[in-house]
Amino acid sequence: MPKVLDGATIAAEIKQDVAEEVKALAARGVKPGLAVVQVGHVPASEIYVRNKVQTSKELGFLSEHITPAETVTTEEMLALIATLNAREDIDGILVQLPLPKQVDAKVLLDAIAPEKDVDGFHPVNAGRLQAGRQALAPCTPAGVIEILKRSGIPISGANAVVVGRSDIVGKPAAMLLLHENATVTICHSKTRDLGAVTRQADILVAAIGRPGFITPDMVKPGATIIDVGINRIDTREEFDKFFKGNDKREAAFAKRGSVLVGDVHPAAFEVSGAYTPVPGGVGLLTIAMLMANTVRAAKIRRGM
Ligand code: NDP
């Protein structure tokens, strides 16, 4: 039976570690500060933002939830970022995406001081990560590494294949795996004979954005699968493709009219040695890693 790598347990461990660091910092008169900026009300962002703000409060951070109006301009947002950049009590600035069309997201994200960029999206942090310097790494890929390490999955010397090359998941995940001494291959939509490559993987990271894309024949028996994908499916046809005969999922589908599936077909997990489920895997790590990044930012900024 493959082992389930439970995101909730690992996220709780990370938050516990963060809470201890916060206590140690408090003894030195430091309170990490996180500002979460949420423009307007995108329903899909609502729950994420609430969780981020709530978790940071629970962990003893100074937590600010800033909510500019839907009509805010890029200039007004830049002024807000400049204020937050200058504030001594704020260590991390997070701008929740997506932003309304009139706001230039790239200009805005680039305006965040790199040392306060707890999402790890700033080009300076991407470059520092690449160069092997101290960097704030993006939360989701950093969570992938935490899952592997805390589950005792050996990374050094392993063949790691990352499917997906986005700037926020695929590329940084590959770079972090490389820093952990994996032999890394990055695949994308132009990769030829993808299955032949993924079958070489001891560690297979799927960050594609296509429901159930990785099928059992693409997985080396016993491999560790990290499924980053989060896809919502809401038709009976799609549901049956992935979960036919699964009573638990059937009940969830009947109740909500939709369920989540990762980028890996559930049947492919059966071939693996260990895997992260969806939901309940990588997704749960992202907020924990955001908290860890904020504490890290607080320490780095003060030379601690
Ligand atoms: P992007 O759409 O930015 O990137 C998708 C990548 O997959 C691209 O590099 C693309 O290749 C590649 N790809 C697409 N189709 C194929 C194919 N047929 N064969 C091989 N490669 C393919 O997505 P993200 O990286 O932002 O997200 C990936 C997934 O992770 C999504 O499901 C997203 O919801 C989820 N996610 C989960 C998070 C979490 O907290 N757990 C956080 C962020 C994302 P190419 O570059 O050639 O187009």
Average pLDDT of span 217-225: 98
- Ligand 1 center to 207 CA (angstroms): 4
> Does the annotation mark 119 as catalytic?
yes
Query: pLDDT over 90 for what percent of the chain?
Result: 97
Residue 127: the pLDDT is: 98
Atom 5 of ligand 1, nearest CA residue:
208
pLDDT digits (tens, 9 = 90+) for 154-186: 999 999 999 999 999 999 999 999 999 999 999
Determine the average pLDDT of the residues in 256-270. Answer: 97
Nearest to 286, CA basis, from 111, 49, 42: 49
* Beta carbon of 168 within 6 Å of any ligand 1 atom: yes
Instruction: Band the pLDDT of 42: cuts 50, 70, 90.
Output: confident
Which residue in 123, 122, 206 sits closest to 170, CA to CA? Answer: 206
- Residue 113 confidence class, pLDDT cut points 50, 70, 90: very high
Q: What is the pLDDT of residue 43?
A: 84
Query: How far is the centre of ligand 1, averaged over its atoms, from the C-alpha of 164 (Å)?
Result: 5
| The CATH homologous superfamily of the domain defined by 139-285 | NAD(P)-binding Rossmann-like Domain (3.40.50.720)
Ligand 1 pocket, 189 CB below 6 A? yes
Strand partners, 37: 66, 95
Task: Yes or no: say if 226 and 147 are a contact pair by the CB < 8 Å rule.
Answer: yes
pLDDT band at residue 111, thresholds of 50, 70 and 90? very high
Two structure tokens written together for 11: 């996220």
For the domain made up of 29-115, give the CATH fold.
Rossmann fold (3.40.50)
Ligand 1 atom at shortest distance from the alpha carbon of 163:
21
Collect all residues with Cβ–Cβ distance below 8 Å to 76 and sequence separation of at least 6. Answer: 68
Amino acid symbol at 160: A
Q: Is the pLDDT of residue 45 over 90?
A: no
For residue 174, CA distances in Å to 140, 144, 259 come to 12, 10, 29
pTM of the model: 0.97
- The span from the CA of 205 to the CA of 203, in Å, is 7
ipTM: 0.99
Residue 207 banded pLDDT, cuts 50, 70, 90: very high
Give Cβ neighbours of residue 20 (< 8 Å, ≥ 6 apart). Answer: none
Is residue 230 part of an annotated ligand binding site?
Answer: yes
Catalytic residue among 38, 91, 116, 119: 119
In the chain, which residues fall in CATH 3.40.50.720?
Answer: 139-285
From 48, 52, 147, 166, mutation site for ligand 1 pocket: most ligand atoms within 8 A of C-beta: 166
C-alpha of residue 59 to centroid of ligand 1, in Å: 31
Query: What is the percent of the chain where pLDDT is above 70?
Result: 100
**Mean pLDDT, range 279-304, rounded to an integer:** 96
The answer, yes or no, to whether residue 44 has pLDDT greater than 90, is no
Report residue 91 as tokens: 């260590």
Q: Among 14, 47, 49, 188, which is best to mutate for testing ligand 1, by the most ligand atoms less than 8 A from CB?
A: 188
Q: Phi then psi for 30, rounded to 5 degrees?
A: -115, 135
Q: Is 56 annotated as a binding residue?
A: no
Ligand 1 centroid to residue 91 C-alpha, Å = 29
User: Would you say the CB of residue 210 lies under 6 angstroms from ligand 1?
Assistant: yes
Give the model's pLDDT for residue 285. Answer: 96
- Determine whether the shortest distance from the Cβ of 208 to ligand 1 is under 6 A: yes
Atom of ligand 1 at shortest distance to CA of 283? 41
